[in-house]
Each structure stands twice: as C-alpha cells, then as structure tokens.
Amino acid sequence: MNYAQLFRNDVSSAAEFINGTFYPWNNESERSAQTLLGQGETTLFFLGDLDTAHQDQLFTIALNVHESIPALNQITQSQRVSFSTNLRSLGGKIVYAYILNNTSTSNGVGPSFWYSGPSPPNEKDLQDATTIAANLTK
C-alpha cells in the first residue's frame, strides 16, 4: 500500500474516533485515536524518506500531527468535530499530492498496488496539507 494512502487511512480512522459519531468519546477511543495519529506520523516519515525533495515539508506535517496528540486530553466536542474534519482534509491532500495526481500508470488507471513512491507531488496539495497540519487543533 502506498504511504500516502496508509497515512490517509490512519488519520481518517483517528478522525472517526475523535468525532464521536460512531464511537463514544472515552479513554478507549482517545487511546485508539492517539495510536492511529502516531502511526500516521511515522508513515509520513517513511514517505519523506522516499521523497527527499519534500522531506522537510513532510516532516513538518508529521510533527504537527504528533503535537496534536496531547490536545486530545482536553478537547471539547466542537473542537473534536473541527479536528476530525481537519484530519480528513489533511489525509485527502496527501493522497491527492502523491497518488491521484501525477502517478497514473495509464489512462485513468492509478498506480500499481505495490507502488510506494516517490512521485512528483502536486505542490499545491502538499502546501495545502502543510497549512491544514499547522492548524489541526485550531
């Protein structure tokens, strides 16, 4: 699986726990969200190791994800909704930057199943991801 897809899966799953729509917000869902955010952070470091041209940007995003984890201890319901929306947007931007743009193997067909980058990312989507990450818990 591509690191960008894996990152999106991790932060989207964390967003489901944080939002509280499907799972009640409690110590267990908080720990699950923290674990998934930690996995997402690690995944971005792996992606940065592949795409060294954008490594600093990806590492900054990863650190912003890491720094958002302690906020879960004291987050309100409205902040959780906003945070989960931002996480989903962040995951989408990373996928758009690395997979849905610039990496098709033929007309309209995405990368092969085992593709793991690097690819020339869509710079605007990567910059948007950086902006979202900087404001994750705001």
Low-confidence ranges of the chain (pLDDT < 50): 1, 102-115
Q: Locate the domains of the chain by residue range.
A: 3-134
pLDDT tens string 106-130: 444 444 444 455 566 788 999 999 9
Predicted model pTM? 0.85
Alpha-carbon distance 78 to 82, whole Å? 6
Looking at residue 117, its pLDDT comes to 52
